[in-house]
Amino acid sequence: MAKSKNNAKKLSYISVPSQIINSLSSSSLQSLLLSPKKSSRNNRFLYLFSTYRSPRFWFFFLFLFGLFGMLKLGFNLDPLVPFSPYPCVTGQSQDLSSTGYSKSEKMAMAINGGDSQKNGVLTTNSFSETLTGNGISEMEENVEQNEFWKQPDGLGYKPCLAFTREYRRVSEGIVNDRRKYLIVVVSGGMNQQRNQIVDAVVIARILGAALVVPVLQVNVIWGDESEFSDIFDLDHFKKVLANDVRIVSSLPSTHIMTRPVEESRTPLHASPTWIRSRYLKKIKREGVLLLRGLDSRLSKELPSDLQKLRCKVAFHALRFAPPILELGNKLAERMRSKGPYLALHLRMEKDVWVRTGCLPGLSHEYDEIINNERKQRPELLTARSNMTYHERKLAGLCPLNALEMSRLLKALGAPRNARIYWAGGQPLGGKEALLPLTSEFPNFYNKEDLALPGELEPFANRASLMAAIDYIVSENSDVFMPSHGGNMGHAIQGHRAYAGHKKYITPNKRQMLPHFLNSSLSAAEFNRIIKYLHHESLGQPEPRTSKAGRDVTKYPVHECMCNDSHAHSRS
């Protein structure tokens, strides 16, 4: 027993991990327990051999190898082997330019401002993002969004109102004349009145007469009784045109009792020659000439100096009154506070659907409202009466509704988080009519949304002043798009061109609507077609003379804008 106890005292224990015990054979385990301090070379060999045979060992080894491989690809440890962001795409070698880079790689270089290209090697870390659900990478989405805000190439065109020496010589006699006075009554909405005021100044110049501040006829639709000085800055108007036409607030005492010669039948496209032959003798004899209904009466084909005068009136003299300008600029600043913004001019009011002979497309109930109104007042129809609604629609004569505007914007790459300002009157159907737009673009505002309590009160129930506020916010936007042609859209198009050709999207309704009706097109193909149809309708410089009958206040190149290759002489 004593011997046994002594032996028990000599026993020692070691702690061995279970993983090692499971990997050892029984003989190896026994030798280890009996002789823990004496590890022979043979026993070490057996231990290593049994370890290498373990599945756990090889699993761990393969895991490390795979991890290293992924790190190598993800971080581009070997710059000599470019990594394709789209490993499943075939035929990419055919998509390389002469620089040796694929389109996707050049896209990364463009976004990173060229920083991706260092020492002749393209860094492709930014393309390690996963593909989104529709197969387009986040990087491509960002490129598309940046492309939407990209401004057209203005080709260096700048305002160029250099009047000839002969024009300046005659001006002195015109502004000093005290015998002839022209009174003009303008009608319609604010933008329509604006166009007639431009024509009135030019006609006064042609006749060598002083222009009495234009009289704004009360609008029969909105009942707006605003006067010229309520909408425009009268002092600025007089000052800017001081060397071209004398502007007076009222007739002088010498002419106050004079019965003016009234003319209300000025023909379309009246030339300076016709105006002089028709009106000059009468205004010299009577001293006062009264003209009405000038809308689009003056010819669009005028001598160069008169074209420049039109631009001077439209883009310099007709500045909005200080209260309107102040609030309009405030709202524009609030829109821009979080980045670029898009302005839409939506023509979805009840009277617009009636006048155009079109239907809003909201429901059968609303279509019936428009049809009944049109039957009761057929004189309101300004579109071609011999065409059906569907014929007008396919001819591009109808305003786009909210659903069509939404589809167009998405196809052109407008980001969902784009801040949108919409100008225009209350649409037929109210908020329901705007749902297709507001559901796709939640950052959707108008002047009522942006104005603080009380800011719009001075302009309440005065449609012309409200339209002027819309004009200011729209003109200051990064991108502008109207749903239909009209005086406001045309005026802003010219204003944005004169300001350096800021982006202006003209919907190509006639060519795009058939594709809207083609349900077999995939989203990608539809977007490609829509972008192609509009690639030359983004506000690029377009000479007025390229198409007959164009207004210089809509297309100011080349008469009112010039670059190095189209410099105008000052002589």
Set out the domains of the chain in order of their start, with CATH numbers. Answer: 162-317 (3.40.50), 322-346+400-540 (3.40.50), 349-398 (no CATH)
Q: Which residue in 27, 29, 26 sits closest to 16, CA to CA?
A: 29
Q: Is the pLDDT of residue 504 over 80?
A: yes
Q: Assign 58 a pLDDT band (cuts: 50, 70, 90).
A: low
Give the chain's radius of gyration (CA, Å): 38
Q: Between 184 and 122, name the one with better pLDDT.
A: 184
Q: Is the pLDDT of residue 361 over 60?
A: yes
Judged by average pLDDT, the poorest of 19-33, 83-97, 199-213, 447-461 is 83-97
Q: Assign 497 a pLDDT band (cuts: 50, 70, 90).
A: very high
Write out the H or E segment, with its range, that includes residue 185.
strand 181-186
Buried b (16+ CB within 10 A) or exposed e, 444-482: bbbbeebbeeebbeebeebbbbbbbbbbbbbbbbbbbbb
Write out the H or E segment, with its range, that includes residue 341.
strand 341-345
If you average pLDDT over every residue of the chain, what do you get? 81
Q: Which two tokens stand for residue 156?
A: 């260096």
Q: Is the pLDDT of residue 391 over 70?
A: yes
| pLDDT attached to residue 335 | 98
| Percent of the chain predicted with pLDDT > 90 | 62
Judged by average pLDDT, the poorest of 51-60, 288-297, 303-312, 496-505 is 51-60
Report residue 180 CA to chain centroid gap.
46
Question: Whose structure tokens read 């209260």?
Answer: 323
- Number of CB atoms found within 10 A of residue 536's CB: 11
Q: Assign 567 a pLDDT band (cuts: 50, 70, 90).
A: low
| pLDDT attached to residue 138 | 59
| pLDDT attached to residue 220 | 67
Query: HSE-up of 400 (CA within 13 Å, CB side)?
Result: 26
Residue 534: asked if its preceding bond is cis (omega within 30°), the reply is no
Q: Is the pLDDT of residue 453 over 60?
A: yes
Q: Is the pLDDT of residue 18 over 80?
A: no
Q: Is the pLDDT of residue 491 over 60?
A: yes
- Is 472:328 a contact under the CB 8 Å cutoff? yes
Mean pLDDT of 105-119: 38
Q: Is the pLDDT of residue 314 over 70?
A: yes
Q: Which two tokens stand for residue 215?
A: 């009289």
Report residue 518 CA to chain centroid gap.
26
The residues facing 479 across adjacent strands are 342, 503
How far is 371 from 361, CA to CA, in rounded Å?
12
| pLDDT attached to residue 87 | 31
How far is 108 from 93, CA to CA, in rounded Å?
17
Judged by average pLDDT, the poorest of 232-236, 255-259, 448-452, 507-511 is 255-259
| pLDDT attached to residue 446 | 97
| pLDDT attached to residue 172 | 94
